[in-house]
Amino acid sequence: MRILILVFLLVFTAQAAPNLSWQTYGAVLKGQEAKVLLRQCSRATPQRVTAQWTPSKTQIVLLETKLPKFQKTLKPLNGLRSSFYRQYAGFVAAGRKIIYVNLFPSNVDPKWRSRAVVVCDGGEQFWGVEFEIVTERFVNPAFNGKV
């Protein structure tokens, strides 16, 4: 019985952690603020955007479970902090349904939960990536220029 309870707690904790993480360190942007995310001045963003949509909690949790492993594959992040604040926005870009993720350090803007963070230059600690809904993978990571 104790083993069953332990297994249950481990599974529950593993599932709850990404949810807690995204609610603590992430925010879904909608409407005009979501569109502002695509106006980054120091890096490429999704092109040929034809529609906007709001990602679900389930989609964000899925993205968050895959993000740490993806971050480890990115050479520009070597030596940089592994924890970033995140803004999410849903778009249809070039016929693909994506969640665009804007990642940045925590001390940038106190209104980051409701206002798109756009920083010119700023270095590689400011970056963005597309998460494809159908393939469940990250594509097109882009980093800001050097300070």
pLDDT tens string 26-51 = 999 999 999 999 999 999 999 999 99
Give residue 6's domain range. Answer: 2-143
What number is the average pLDDT over the span 10-27? 58
Q: From CA 75, how far away is CA 92, in angstroms rounded?
A: 28
Beta carbons of 22 and 61 less than 8 angstroms apart = yes
To the question of pTM greater than 0.75 for the whole model, the response is: yes
Q: What is the mean pLDDT of the chain?
A: 85
- In this predicted structure, what is the pLDDT of residue 76? 77
3-state helix/strand/coil string of 38-50: CCCCCCCCCCCEE
Q: How many domains does the chain have?
A: 1
Over 70: is that where the pLDDT of 78 sits? no
Using DSSP's 3-state secondary structure scheme, residue 106 falls into coil
Over 90: is that where the pLDDT of 72 sits? no
What number is the average pLDDT over the span 14-35? 76
